[in-house]
């Protein structure tokens, strides 16, 4: 199933919404529920920079993210804001991705991982091209 990230939601926040939903459903759900979002992100080290690096590591596979920090995700971000969530939904239940995105969309934009949704998809693509050019020039 393909889902669409809510209008103006950054790819970082779309990723985080799905990651958070999946991690909550994993065994550590009880621990996750007991921590504030800030404490959880600090404890598990999730930052915008780390999300960007994760995406950049997956350029060659069209930004397909299979796992992050031992959390099964299996998400295709290659056509963002369209997200291929068919395997995610197969793992976490039909419509899970759409519900997670909708839920996180109600979080105040100032409290999101990417506050105010400032980091746009086009910026990631520009950075990916720059990295690719750097790697090509080294060869």
pLDDT single digits (tens) 68-112: 877 889 999 999 999 999 999 999 999 999 999 999 999 999 889
pLDDT of residue 68: 82
Strand order across the 82-84 sheet: 2-4, 82-84, 71-79, 64-68
* CA 16 to each of CA 19, 83, 130, 134, 139: distance values in angstroms, whole numbers, following the listed order: 5, 13, 24, 28, 35
Please state the rounded mean pLDDT for residues 5-31.
83
DSSP 50: H
**For residue 25, pLDDT beyond 90:** no
Sorting pLDDT into bands at 50, 70 and 90, what band is 30? Answer: very low
Please state the rounded mean pLDDT for residues 11-24.
91
């Amino acid at each position: 199933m393909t889902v669409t990230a809510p209008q103006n939601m950054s790819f970082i926040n779309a990723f985080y919404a799905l990651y958070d939903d999946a991690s909550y459903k994993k065994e550590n759900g009880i621990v996750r529920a007991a921590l504030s979002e800030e404490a959880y992100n600090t404890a598990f080290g999730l930052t915008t920079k780390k999300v960007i690096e994760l995406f950049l590591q997956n350029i060659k596979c069209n930004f397909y993210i299979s796992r992050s920090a031992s959390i099964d995700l299996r998400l295709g971000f290659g056509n963002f804001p369209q997200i291929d969530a068919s395997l995610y939904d197969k793992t976490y239940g039909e419509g899970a991705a759409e519900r997670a995105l909708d839920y996180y969309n109600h979080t105040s934009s100032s409290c999101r991982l990417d506050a105010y949704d400032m980091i746009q998809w086009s910026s990631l693509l520009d950075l990916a091209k720059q990295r690719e050019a750097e790697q090509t020039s080294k060869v």
